[in-house]
Chains A and B, each alone.
Chain A
Amino acid sequence: LAKTTQPISMDSYEGQEVNITCSHNNIATNDYITWYQQFPSQGPRFIIQGYKTKVTNEVASLFIPADRKSSTLSLPRVSLSDTAVYYCLVARGGFKTIFGAGTRLFVKA
């Protein structure tokens, strides 16, 4: 399974757009890219998944370049409640999903 690398932490201010980039140089053809969000004392929550190009839902957008060796989670106009840990995962078949260390996002007022 492809190993993922994310920044350990990021700071932002309310109302800004936040982009968290994840590198996965060894991604395989059958791998999908998935992002989760985890608040303190809660389990991770699925945000978005994609295979290539761009995926958008009501929470975030996911940008994946043609070589798929990285991906960027974009959170539009963050609020204080978006302070959380964000995990990038690469999975080949859902049941082998492995979580990395994640990125701690701090949103300031």
Chain B
Amino acid sequence: DTAVSQTPKYLVTQMGNDKSIKCEQNLGHDTMYWYKQDSKKFLKIMFSYNNKELIINETVPNRFSPKSPDKAHLNLHINSLELGDSAVYFCASSQDTTSYGYTFGSGTRLTVV
């Protein structure tokens, strides 16, 4: 069983489109995250949810809207995609907000053309 699963693994789309990435964890963790890894391999936190409640929003454009229907799922919807949104997006989870050991998904490579 995959602990943190993301879909799709690859996403190629045109500028201006709207797309969603889904994430699910079966670890029973309370906290989930979205990270963005750019071409220089820097990992930047975007959002964090704890028990379905947003606790971190790191100055991400409001075109990005996370949604957590329950604590096992954290989806990312992106409106009006731009070339600069091209990156690998990672979903992660941790036991709670005090945990340092994150479990990451395998990533979604988004390419905006």
Contacts and interface: CB of A to CB of B under 8 A. Distances in A.
Size bracket, chain B contacts = 20 to 34
Interface in B68-111: 90, 92, 94, 96-107
Nearest to A45: B104
Given A95-B55, A101-B41, A102-B41, A43 B99 contact: no
Nearest to A104: B41
Contacts of B56: 95-96
Interface residues of A, number: 24
B98 A97 contact: no
A49 interface: yes
Interface in A42-74: 42-46, 49
B99 A94 contact: yes
B106 A95 contact: no
A29 to B, nearest CB: 15
Nearest to A48: B101
A35 to B, nearest CB: 10
Interface string B36-48: 0000111111001
B31 interface: yes
Contact of B101 (A46, A96, A99): A46
A94 B106 contact: no
Contacts of B50: 95
Interface centre among A46, A91, A102 (most CB of B within 10 A): A46
Given A99-B43, A101-B42, A42 B107 contact: yes
Given A95-B97, A98-B44, A101-B42, 8 more contacts: A34-B100, A42-B106, A43-B4, A43-B105, A87-B43, A94-B100, A94-B101, A95-B31
